[in-house]
């Protein structure tokens, strides 16, 4: 007998008037995933980790992992920290023809079918179906209609349903995936323009999206699958920028937020919530956003922790005369060697762009962490700081929050633990807002 998907509890609790949600950790970075797992264990809660088709697909994505690989990696990390695997939820984000949108529809959709099939078969229980992007044979001069987007989305949902039936034959207790539809956000990774002119989704556009998808599911012969759709992606008026973020304004979004009350089975999924304050995140949850997506904000915290350790390493090298890791140089060299992941996004003078490569809130450097030379430098940094442990005065100077925790005995003075602690600080802003421990009580 299949178990109920715990993510359904988000909808039931929200519809009871309880401000409960879950944050979605959208990252394949191992430090981030470990920090997310450890925070869930510490809070006796749960964790939702999602990967995009950019990061993880049937060909390995930029992380080098297939859906099965990523699933096994995450469950192994949960086991390592002692977190019950039933409290780990895995999702696929923006699954569709995004990474092959230069191909004609038939070819792009075949790729997308294999993609969603492999995610569901691997055991992912939250699937965001995103068919909002044009493919090669779509008219570049006209808007893609809701009907075309929904038809393609329903095609993928049908594949998901078939893949779940295959999974059930192997595991009769397999949890049915929930589905997320719609996409009113910049492409995964962030907006390419300097100013995206952020617009809140119009309530009628949201209603039209829902109606189109519901009809497409019925036309595709999978009406029953509509019961597993729990959220629609909307733009509540939030987005990270190079040097800040567009903060949530509940007055500006009030008409959109009121419209979710018309649907008993749906909540909103909010993308690009990175860098909102914990109080703004709380407002989003109170207003009807049941899923808070965060990605760059977490890898930015990891990068921030690593850069702090680089400064500490430089100071220690002056005393103990050892070869430093040159991590920052290795990272920038990797970015310059393959500029495709950052060049369309960063604008300004040469010096301004060099600054953004390292410090922009959009954190494009996250794509270069898997590069061998970057990993080698990171490993060197960690080994250097294990051989020459961080003195408390330097920890106090460059990582003051972690210094206090080390002094209080709640954090080990180890470079990896210090990095994860910096990430956990950001995660805890989300768990403050979400109260997601309620989902597993």
Q: pLDDT in tens for each of the 441 residues of the chain?
A: 899 999 999 999 999 999 999 999 999 999 999 999 999 999 999 999 999 999 999 999 989 999 999 999 999 999 999 999 999 999 999 999 999 999 999 999 999 999 999 999 999 999 999 999 999 999 999 999 999 999 999 999 999 999 999 999 999 999 999 999 999 754 555 555 444 567 999 999 999 999 999 999 999 999 999 999 999 999 999 998 888 899 999 999 999 999 999 999 999 999 999 999 999 999 999 999 999 999 999 999 999 999 999 999 999 999 999 999 999 999 999 999 999 999 999 999 999 999 999 999 999 999 999 999 999 999 999 999 999 999 999 999 999 999 999 999 999 999 999 999 999 999 999 999 999 999 998
Q: Do domains 8-296+426-440 and 300-423 have the same CATH topology?
A: no
Rounded Cα distance between 20 and 58, Å, is 34
User: How high is the pLDDT of residue 362?
Assistant: 96
Rounded Cα distance between 345 and 373, Å, is 24
User: How high is the pLDDT of residue 1?
Assistant: 86
Domain ranges of the chain: 8-296+426-440, 300-423
Please give the structure tokens belonging to residue 259: 């419209």
Give residues with Cβ within 8 angstroms of 262, minimum separation 6.
207
Taking phi first (over 0 means left), then psi (-120 to 50 degrees means alpha), and beta for anything else, what does residue 123 get? left
Inter-CA distances, 365 with 179, 299, 303, 304, 311, Å: 30, 9, 9, 12, 18
User: How high is the pLDDT of residue 195?
Assistant: 45
Exposed, middle or buried: residue 199 (CB in 10 Å: 0-12, 13-18, 19+)?
exposed
Class of CATH domain 300-423: mainly alpha
Quote the pTM value. Answer: 0.96
Q: 220-248 as b/e, with b when 16 or more CB fall inside 10 Å?
A: bebeebbebbbbbbbbbbbbbbbeebbeb
Using an 8 Å Cβ cutoff, are 227 and 4 in contact?
A: no
- Please calculate the CA angle 183-127-154 and round it to the nearest 5 degrees: 70
Rounded Cα distance between 105 and 100, Å, is 9
Whether CATH 3.40.50.300 fits 8-296+426-440:
no
């Amino acid at each position: 007998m299949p178990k109920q998907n715990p993510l359904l509890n988000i909808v039931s609790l929200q519809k009871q008037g309880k401000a409960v949600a879950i944050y979605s950790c959208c990252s394949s970075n191992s430090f981030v995933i470990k920090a997310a797992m450890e925070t869930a264990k510490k809070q006796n809660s749960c964790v939702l980790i999602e990967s995009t088709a950019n990061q993880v697909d049937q060909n390995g994505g930029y992380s080098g992992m297939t859906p099965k690989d990523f699933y096994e990696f995450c469950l192994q990390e949960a086991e390592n920290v002692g977190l019950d695997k039933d409290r780990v939820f895995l999702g696929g984000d923006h699954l569709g023809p995004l990474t092959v949108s230069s191909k004609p529809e038939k070819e792009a959709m075949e790729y997308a079918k294999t993609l969603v099939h492999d995610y569901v078969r691997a055991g992912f229980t939250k699937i965001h179906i995103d068919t909002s992007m044009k493919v090669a044979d779509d008219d570049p001069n006209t808007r893609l209609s809701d009907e075309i987007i929904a038809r393609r989305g329903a095609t993928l949902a049908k594949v998901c349903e078939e893949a779940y039936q295959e999974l059930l034959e192997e595991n009769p207790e397999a949890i049915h995936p929930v589905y997320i539809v719609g996409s009113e956000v910049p492409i995964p990774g962030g907006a390419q323009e300097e100013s995206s002119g952020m617009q809140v989704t119009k309530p009628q556009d949201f209603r039209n999206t829902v109606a189109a998808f519901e009809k497409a599911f019925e036309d595709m012969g999978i009406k029953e699958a509509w019961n597993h759709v729990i959220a629609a992606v909307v733009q509540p008026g939030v987005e990270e920028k190079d040097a800040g973020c567009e903060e949530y304004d509940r007055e500006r979004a009030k008409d959109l937020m009121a419209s979710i009350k018309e649907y008993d089975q749906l909540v909103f999924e909010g993308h690009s919530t990175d860098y909102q304050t914990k109080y703004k995140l709380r407002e989003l949850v109170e207003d009807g956003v049941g899923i808070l997506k965060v990605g760059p904000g977490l890898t930015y915290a990891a990068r921030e922790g690593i850069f702090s350790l680089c400064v500490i390493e430089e100071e220690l090298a002056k005393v103990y005369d050892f070869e430093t890791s040159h991590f920052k140089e290795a990272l920038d060299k990797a970015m310059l060697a393959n500029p495709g992941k950052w060049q369309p996004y960063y604008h300004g003078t040469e010096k301004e762009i060099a600054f953004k490569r390292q410090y922009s809130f959009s954190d494009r450097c996250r794509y270069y962490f898997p590069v061998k030379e970057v990993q080698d430098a990171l490993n060197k940094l960690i080994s250097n700081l294990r051989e020459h442990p961080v003195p408390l005065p330097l920890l106090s100077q460059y990582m003051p929050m972690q210094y206090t925790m080390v002094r209080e005995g709640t954090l080990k003075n180890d470079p990896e633990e210090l990095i994860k602690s910096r990430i956990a600080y950001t995660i805890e802003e989300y768990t403050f807002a979400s109260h997601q421990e309620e989902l597993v009580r």
